[in-house]
Structure 1
Amino acid sequence: MFLAGVSAATKAFTGAVAGEILSSIKEMVAVVMESSSSSPSLHIPELPKKPVDLDDRVEELKKKLFKENISKVGISAMGGSGKTILAAALCKDPQVIEHFGNNIIFQTVSQSPNILGILESMWERITEEEPDPEFHSIEDAHTRLQQWLYNRQPRNWFRMKKPENILVVLDDVWPEVNLRALLFEAEGYKTVVMSRHSVEGVDDAYELPLLGEEDALSLFRFWAFGEQCIPDGISDTLVKQVAAECQGLPLALEVIGCSLMNEPLEYWEWTHSKLSQGEPISKNHEALLKHLAMSTERLDNDMKKCFLDLGLFLDKNQISVAVLLDIWTYVHNIKPIRAYKILRELENRKLLNLINDLPGDHPYTYYGSNTELCIVQHDVLRSLAIYLAANEQTGNICKRLRLFPNSWKAHSDENINAEIVSIHNTGSMNEKLWSEVEFPEARALVLIFSENECFLPAFLQTMSKLKVLIIINQNSITTKLEGMLAFKSLAQLRSLRLEKLIVPPLGDYIQYLKKLQKLSLSLCKGDKGSLDIEVCSKLIGLVEISIDHCLDIKELPANVCNLPSLERLTITNCHDLQKLPDNLQELAGSLKMLMLAACPALKELPASICDLNKLEFLDISQCQCIQTLPHEFGKLQGLKYLYMRECQKLRSLPNTATGLRSLKFVICDKQLKTQWSGVKQSIPNLSLDIAEVKFSLGWLDR
């Protein structure tokens, strides 16, 4: 990660200078995390492993883009046609890269965008060295960025050098979006707009055609059979017939092809029959969804529920796997291992895509740690989940409800029966907002907002059956959470997740959550200078605490060790964490997993960690200040997995390490290879892996 690469560079300096540099880097990371962690992504998507030949289409698009009198080009086609892939191929074309250099910005807009947040992200990327101003409105942001672009242009003979060329790609733009706010005029500045609909306000347009018969069949065969030949019993004619029903639409070829992989002849014939009876997918969006619905016919009940839940979230946004697994576990009563297998099966069927993926047998999977793992989903597949959920509705019994402020009254009859509620609010989350809304039957509530205030809704006091509460701030700055006294009514809550919020001392409020099993904090701050996570010892059922990217937490309170059921404690990317409690031995009867990855200020592990006789997984990767392990480290008789990569100052192992008889896997740096090889002689079944130091800023796009 970022700090690991920096740490290696500081070795050439004295300790004092290196410390100052590391401190500055930490401050810089904090600023970047504040501004970019929840803002829309500027990352160019990866090209798929089996794309069709895009060269001719890219060349045609380049001809339009490089015309002198053209600054804005629109690409239109129905959903699932490959617009995003074409734009990504354009951005990665050598001629385009040569012309625009590093000034290529790929910005997803979506149907309900935070326009101000997008403009803030564009300002940060385009101006680079300029300070990030506080914009008062969309109009203010547009005016300032347009002025900045104008000021960089040469206006007299003193400024003859041309400004750098800039390419901005706006993906997934809907007609109702204020596109004009995202368009700018300047020398060398070009914009490509992608939409399902014809784009207004552009200089030239390109309508992306569907695939021809040969390309479509090739793509379909790849997804249905991989690199293998067509199996016996399924005729080439039938394969061509099913592929033809996808009508050249890449997404349909992929999803339906994957759904038929390893299926018997009878299912192929049934699929062909159903597809041939349907309306052509080019006619309208609903016809496309009906075709794609065929790919879900073989999902069992649990898998179908899990797929429908994906419709609860915003289009094109990354979804934390941990959030999904909480809903599947606590609402649908699916066991965690089974829930993870469902996630994998949905990925195999191309109904979602995993980001930051791990091997299926990775220990993180077994111990339930999914801090880094996210999914993305094509907006058409998200629409499919919403479409199928709506068709599942009987009368006014709606199991899943996805609401925007202007639709609350229209759904008032459905509110009372909804089991899973997702509310997306781009406006203010003030106290008056919730006066007419109630969800007494809800088991899960997802609140997603992007404003400067968040007041918890009064209707929480009527949600006595709520088991999962997720509050996500997508604003560019951290927002204070108000109204937490509503927690008094959530006696059945099992999982609480807070993202990018300023929170008061938690102990004052979560003491009411008597059945809480999981507490997750991401990108949170304390309202009194540092994050206070004092946890009430009355929470006897709390199994997991996860703290990620909470930059102002300095030490873990001792009373965390008074939780009798705590099995998993995860503290990652907390750059100011300096100390763990000395009484860790009080968790000896329960703690199985301890993750302390990327905590560069942590200097040592307390001796009491050696008394955690049930500990099976320990990760201290990227804890650059740890120099030694406790002398009695070998007492960890239950330890199976030890991750200690990029711990540059840790150069020796205690002699007791040979006592780690249950140890199966160690990943470490080169300087410890010889010592671990010696330990391996006493532990024959030990597998040793030497880590490669990686330098990456990719995590900032998440």
Structure 2
Amino acid sequence: MAGSVISLVIGRTVDLLHKKSVFLKDVGRQVERLGNDLEWMRCFLEDAEQRQDENARIRNWVSEIRAAAYDAEDIIEIFASKIESIKDKGFVTRLACYPRRIVSLDKIGKEIESLQTRLNDIAASREKYGIKNLGEGMSAHGEELQRIRRSSPFSEDKDIVGFEELTKSLVAELLKEDKNRRVVSIVGMGGAGKTTLAKKVYNHADVRARFNCRAWVCLSLSYDHKEMLRSIIKQLNTVDNKLLEMLEKMEEQDLERRLYQDLQDKCYLLVLDDVWKEEAWDCLARAFPDVNTSSRLLLTSRNRGVPLHADALSKPHVLKTLGQEDSWQLFLRKALGHGDDAGCPSDMEEVGREIAKRCDGLPLAITVMGGLLLTKKKLKSEWEKVLNNFSTYLSRSQRGVSATLELSYADLPPNLKLCFLYLGLFPEDSEISVRKLIHMWVAEGIMQKRDAENLEETAAYDVEQLFSRNMVQVVEMTTDERIKSCRVHDLLRELAIRKANDEKIFHTDEIRDDEISAKSRYLAVHILPWDKNYVGCSIPPVRSLLFFNIHGYRENISLSFKSFRKLRILDLEKVMMAYLPKEIGEIRLLRYLGLRRTWITRLPHSVGCLRYLQTLDIRTNSVYFPVIVSNFIWKLESLRHLYARDVRSNVPLKIEGLRNLRTLSGIHFDDIMHNNMITLMSLQKLGIWVDDRSEIDKLCMHLSEVGSLKALGLYRNPGRGWPQSLAGLSKLHHLTELKLSGVSLRTLPPDFPPNLSRLSLKFTRLKDDPMPTLEKLGQLSFLKMECAYEGKQLFISRHGFHQLKFLELSRLYDLDEINVEKGALPRLRCLRIRKCLSLEKLPEELDPELVDKA
């Protein structure tokens, strides 16, 4: 992990020292010294980060600090958790535990003393490694990365594939009859071909004819503002010694004034290639006159926010990675050098296609690998050698694929670096749930320092930032345009793994205890060897343990929890486990426990000892069997999210007093009614099982004063009918989202929550057309109906659904006609139709572009 990330960890540890000072007062002097030493170390990390890529000793120094900071955090939290558990007991018990407290204090004192010795040794080695201080300029490695990225409009690449339509679109936008100065932009991940495309457009005959005043400048990640201004002025004027001398003497404001004068009254085209930050645009834009001359700026960036900042009215042209066939054609041109007539020898095609596939549609990677193969003999064995050592060849390339992607990583702020590295734990090409990712980031403590009240919102913003910077790709968006799931480009994933491995963040495809570094903190199990079914004999102090794609393993997985006492995250999704050992309660620092799609049907009482637990996901494979828990949920004072399909207890389940709880699903009506719900001050989402005996009016009155509640799901208990009345829903004024799910609701409730904006009906099998009732919900923007209606026709009048933006009709098997009056659904953005097998046509009143039919 890079030095700036470790700086974040150190800051978090120092904050923890202050936060837990009440428990550490008896070892206060040692704790204060530890905090001071860690802060002192942080002062030298920026210089170390800039130089660790070129010096293995410096990289090791950074790694030692990281390990010390993590160990300090572990020691403090483990000790504090022990003291907190004693503090909650009765007086007699506390008195009996007093000797244990003394022993614990003595132990932590010795551990801090040992850490202090380590830090002293690390500090002593600083000068030996040549680490000086902050602000001493960019390292030679950093300067080399910048040099690689410099561009010019000349030496245009003739072997371009897949850019034809984008080129036409960009040229057309540059030539639009608009007197105002406009910004046309190209955005995409590093190596996607933004500069190549910009060159093609810049040199297009129609563009050259339109703009006789043109200039090209490459800003890159670190740039000199005065030098950029000088560069543009030189391209617009005849260069002689007099001009050069004058430009060298000019101050920044004088240069801006000179450039403004040069461009005044001109129809100019300026290309600003590789703009990273909004500030870079702001500095230069002052010198670009907007005087009704139809001037244009063509801007390329990896950050989607930059072009929108430059011109909010101009939609960026997103440069996506190449498809499989375009990738193959580009590969052939670069690897065989035959231009359009390139053809691959039949015995080498399979290997060649696999190399192209490994490039994952990134033009720069294809170009580099193709150029490498062009210099080698046209033999299958040579191509196989390159394929088998793909990552090594790519990282060694002089054209800098790794370097290009590394610049994107270098530009991330510390918290986003840590978020990005965490993505390297997930398998190649996996679809990553953003909700799950957010819960893990929160559990890891990445968000803690910035906004303790809105951790999930902060994490969701960070996902958006990674997307904006083209570090992740969107797989699925929600209807309100939030990222629901994402993936990481293969080469960016390799970058994350490489950076993480540099700092001993362990990532593996096959667990072997003897290969795991003693400093490893993150462990992803992708494959378990068939000769053993356990993990955890010589495991280091791991913070995150994640399992992927081992659901086919035939036996129960056995975990030695004694090896995992410092775990914050344990994700066992899809692992073949039928029970959870009671030793789970010994992992006192655990914040995330994922048991989704396991076969566990009962939680041991010891789970109640996990007082730091934030997320508990028990949506197991046992669909027809509830998960049985004893009455311990109320003890989980840090719990923020409890996900369950059906959770039950032998006694009414106590949940009141959980002030941090935001999500609660799979709980039964009777359990809700036995609790004072007002004490759940943060509760936003609630899913409840009801049956024919459930009194919905009383339930809604019970929930009406829970002001934070925004989303409610009512699920019919299998084998029982719906309650006779749902009229009480109108009392829930705070509610904006409602889901009704269960067989044979038959008729809609007479009233709905007055501020409802999202409604989902599932398995309700309504007999009458629901649209006349639903279209009167004035704020409804989202409506989903799945197996919800058994009629043949739906009628939507022009008087209703004034705010509806998204409508999904799924598995309405008898529906054969939708009637829509003219003027209805004025704000509709998407109509999604799934498995409505009898529906043969759509009404003419609907815009075909809005329809997503499958």
TM-score with structure 2 setting the length: 0.43
* CA gap 1:586/1:233 in 2 versus in 1, 3 angstroms: closer
* CA gap 1:312/1:638 in 2 versus in 1, 3 angstroms: same
Matches within 5 A, 1:637-648: 637-644=733-740
Alignment partner of 1:518 out of 615, 629, 649: 615
Alignment partner of 2:507 out of 402, 416, 439: 402
Aligned counterpart, 2:429: 316
* Residue pair 2:691, 2:723 contacting (<8 A) in 1 also: no
State whether structure 2 residue 555 is matched by structure 1 residue 453.
yes
- Offset of residue 358 of structure 1: 0.8
- Offset of residue 418 of structure 1: 2.5
Aligned counterpart, 1:471: 572
Alignment partner of 1:617 out of 698, 710, 732: 710
State whether structure 2 residue 624 is matched by structure 1 residue 500.
no
- Offset of residue 337 of structure 1: 1.1
* Residue pair 1:281, 1:291 contacting (<8 A) in 2 also: no
AA aligned opposite 1:592: L
Query: Of the two structures, which has the highest relative contact order with CA contacts closer than 8 Å and spacing of 6 or more?
Result: 1
Provide the aligned length of Structure 1 versus Structure 2.
435
AA aligned opposite 1:382: R
Identity %: 14
- Offset of residue 343 of structure 1: 1.2
Aligned counterpart, 1:382: 493
Matches within 5 A, 1:142-291: 213-215=159-161, 218=164, 229=174, 242-243=195-196, 264=280, 280=368, 282=370, 283=372, 284-286=393-395, 287=397, 288-291=401-404
- Show CA shifts across 1:64-93 (max 9, x none): xxxxxxxxxxxxxxxxxxxxxxxxxxxxxx
- Offset of residue 402 of structure 1: 0.9
Give distance in 2, aligned partners of 1:226 and 1:347. 27
AA aligned opposite 2:547: L
- Show CA shifts across 1:218-241 (max 9, x none): 588799x899659979999xx989
Give distance in 1, aligned partners of 2:574 and 2:750. 44
Give distance in 1, aligned partners of 2:199 and 2:422. 26
Question: SS of the counterpart of 1:559?
Answer: coil
State whether structure 2 residue 421 is matched by structure 1 residue 295.
no
Give distance in 2, aligned partners of 1:432 and 1:648. 46
What is the aligned-residue RMSD (CA, Å)? 5.1
- Show CA shifts across 1:277-321 (max 9, x none): xx9454322243333223334322222221111110111222222
Give distance in 2, aligned partners of 1:560 and 1:378. 45
AA aligned opposite 1:665: S
* Residue pair 2:695, 2:723 contacting (<8 A) in 1 also: no
Give distance in 1, aligned partners of 2:692 and 2:459. 34
The runs of 5 or more residues in structure 1 that have no matched partner are: 1-210, 248-255, 366-372
* Residue pair 2:712, 2:739 contacting (<8 A) in 1 also: yes
The runs of 5 or more residues in structure 2 that have no matched partner are: 1-156, 176-180, 187-191, 201-220, 222-271, 285-298, 303-362, 373-392, 448-454, 762-767, 780-799, 812-833, 837-854
* CA gap 1:381/1:297 in 2 versus in 1, 3 angstroms: same
Question: SS of the counterpart of 1:422?
Answer: strand
Matches within 5 A, 1:627-646: 629-644=725-740
Give distance in 2, aligned partners of 1:270 and 1:634. 49
Alignment partner of 2:684 out of 593, 602, 611: 593
* Residue pair 1:492, 1:515 contacting (<8 A) in 2 also: yes
Matches within 5 A, 1:98-177: none
Question: SS of the counterpart of 1:558?
Answer: coil
Question: SS of the counterpart of 2:524?
Answer: strand
Larger Rg, first or second structure (1 or 2): 2
- Offset of residue 438 of structure 1: 2.2
Matches within 5 A, 1:556-571: 558-562=652-656, 564-565=658-659, 567-571=661-665
* Residue pair 1:319, 1:374 contacting (<8 A) in 2 also: yes
* Residue pair 2:273, 2:300 contacting (<8 A) in 1 also: no
- Offset of residue 491 of structure 1: 1.0
- Offset of residue 430 of structure 1: 5.3
- Offset of residue 456 of structure 1: 4.0
Give distance in 1, aligned partners of 2:301 and 2:757. 47
* Residue pair 2:579, 2:599 contacting (<8 A) in 1 also: no
Give distance in 2, aligned partners of 1:431 and 1:635. 53
* Residue pair 1:352, 1:376 contacting (<8 A) in 2 also: yes
Give distance in 1, aligned partners of 2:171 and 2:716. 42
Give distance in 2, aligned partners of 1:246 and 1:469. 49
Larger helix percent: 2
State whether structure 2 residue 662 is matched by structure 1 residue 546.
no
- Offset of residue 668 of structure 1: 6.1
* Residue pair 1:621, 1:647 contacting (<8 A) in 2 also: no
Aligned counterpart, 1:443: 543
Alignment partner of 1:417 out of 504, 512, 519: 519
* Residue pair 1:518, 1:543 contacting (<8 A) in 2 also: yes
Give distance in 2, aligned partners of 1:297 and 1:221. 30
Give distance in 1, aligned partners of 2:521 and 2:369. 32
Give distance in 2, aligned partners of 1:638 and 1:353. 34
* Residue pair 2:556, 2:578 contacting (<8 A) in 1 also: yes
Aligned counterpart, 1:667: 759
* CA gap 1:515/1:426 in 2 versus in 1, 3 angstroms: same
Question: SS of the counterpart of 2:609?
Answer: coil
